[in-house]
Amino acid sequence: MKAITLEPKAAGSARFEDIPEPDLREGSVLVEAVAVGVCGTDVEIVAGKYGWAPPGKSRLVLGHESLGRVVDPGSTGAFKAGDLVAGIVRRPDPVPCSNCAVGEWDMCRNGQYTERGIKSLDGFMSERWRIEPEYAMKIDRSLGLLGVLLEPTTVVAKAWEQVTAVGQRAFWEPHTVLVTGAGPIGLLAALVARQHGLDVHVFDRVVDGPKPDLVRALGATYHSGALKDLGFEPDGIVECTGAGPVIAEAVAVVAPGGIVCLTGVGSGGRTGAMPIADAAAAMVLRNNVIVGSVNANKRHWFRAGQVLARADRGWLARLVTRRERPADFAQALARRPDDIKVVLQFSEA
Ligand SMILES: [Zn+2]
């Protein structure tokens, strides 16, 4: 079968090639790929900056934002042929740490977790893949191809859970939520906040293209320019840019008692912001919390399925701005200005 593989940490090694059929040891459920979303992590892995091949292998099958159709459900009875499924990305570490031991592999404490398509496990960019039934998530049939948005939605489902969990430390009735960054994660975060009935504001640099309209179509308000000119203090902020200056501004504009949830993974970026003790003093005096959120456990995958099932299909469809053939994976990985979510389509949903 065909797959997109690469040698981790070797830039330029990615290729669309024939590999053996998936090994039964990868799981009893055999799935035919429908689509795989592409994200910044994939771009980094292909650029040789990140990624680990499975033990004993030199190459890794790429892809962690999966959607597929069950071909052979195995013997558990949990699935039937034709079901649409997505594969959970992370697996608990083998020790396991206390968090992995209770199924919170997203909170793994020792870093020895593995991840499909990223860390020591083959991903989903192959014509067929196998998965353990307990790590396959059934997808609402009516979503069709849009089920490929499940994995990015799990990231915001967890982030939202973190925000609401932190909110419980005090009397907290949020009314306004700011999302920084109108990429797929930011737009899905805005969707979740709107589904909770909140007054949602989305900030991004761009002034045209599809993002402003997508935000307005949610019933949210779009902002560009400087965050300090926002005109109000958000009760909660979901930060999705990972950009230093945006993070510094987000922390500065959040309301007293407000929560900033960081989901972006960036680096560098000088801010000219205040010294750390001054920033800490401002946070102390205003009871602010900054919380980081990464990955997702099965509870978040389930929640994400609920979010997508409730969402307007037309709006979700506008997030998938480009579909490419697997053989053209290099084009899928090359960012274009109006891209939101680009997917490799292996077969019809
Ligand atoms: Zn762990």
- Three-state secondary structure call for residue 298: helix
Distance 104 CA to ligand 1 centre (A): 8
pLDDT tens digits for range 49-67: 999 999 999 999 999 999 9
Distance 187 CA to ligand 1 centre (A): 30
Q: What value, to the nearest 5°, has the Cα angle with vertex 42 and ends 70 and 215?
A: 85
Strand order in the sheet with 60-61: 15-18, 2-6, 60-61
Distance 211 CA to ligand 1 centre (A): 37
Residues 339, 322 contacting (CB under 8 angstroms): yes
Instruction: Please report the pLDDT score of residue 273 as a whole number.
Output: 62
> pLDDT band at 281, cuts 50/70/90?
very high
> pLDDT band at 146, cuts 50/70/90?
very high
Distance 284 CA to ligand 1 centre (A): 31
> pLDDT band at 278, cuts 50/70/90?
confident
Question: In sequence order, what E strands does 299-349 have?
Answer: 320-324, 341-345
Distance 156 CA to ligand 1 centre (A): 21
- Cα–Cα distance for residue pair 106/124, rounded to 1 Å: 19
Distance 151 CA to ligand 1 centre (A): 20
Predicted confidence (pLDDT) at residue 267 exceeds the cutoff of 90: no
Distance 340 CA to ligand 1 centre (A): 32
Distance 330 CA to ligand 1 centre (A): 33
- Cα–Cα distance for residue pair 92/117, rounded to 1 Å: 15
State the sign of the Cα–Cα–Cα–Cα dihedral 126, 132, 137, 139. positive
At a CB cut-off of 8 Å and minimum separation 6, what does 315 contact? Answer: 191, 214, 217, 218
DSSP states of 54-104: PTT-S-EE---EEEEEEEE-TTSSS--TT-EEEE--EE--SS--HHHHTT-
Distance 42 CA to ligand 1 centre (A): 23
Distance 118 CA to ligand 1 centre (A): 16
Whether the predicted model's global pTM rises above the 0.85 cut: yes
Residue 246 CA, distance from chain mean position: 19
Distance 120 CA to ligand 1 centre (A): 15
Distance 296 CA to ligand 1 centre (A): 13
Distance 111 CA to ligand 1 centre (A): 6
Q: Which of 216, 60, 197, 84 is nearest to 145 (CA)?
A: 84
Distance 298 CA to ligand 1 centre (A): 14
Distance 100 CA to ligand 1 centre (A): 4
Q: Which of 159, 161, 147 is nearest to 186 (CA)?
A: 159
Distance 347 CA to ligand 1 centre (A): 35
Q: Which of 94, 176, 85, 65 is nearest to 131 (CA)?
A: 85
Distance 103 CA to ligand 1 centre (A): 9
Distance 96 CA to ligand 1 centre (A): 5
Dihedral of CA atoms 32, 36, 41, 45 in degrees, nearest 10, equals 50
Instruction: Please report the pLDDT score of residue 268 as a whole number.
Output: 74
Distance 94 CA to ligand 1 centre (A): 8
pLDDT tens digits for range 96-138: 999 999 999 999 999 999 999 999 999 999 999 999 999 999 9
Instruction: Tell me the average pLDDT across 324-348.
Output: 97
Q: What's 158's DSSP letter?
A: H
Q: Is the peptide bond before 96 cis (omega within 30 degrees of 0)?
A: yes
Distance 6 CA to ligand 1 centre (A): 26
Distance 265 CA to ligand 1 centre (A): 20
Q: What's 269's DSSP letter?
A: -
pLDDT tens digits for range 169-216: 999 999 999 999 999 999 999 999 999 999 999 999 999 999 999 999
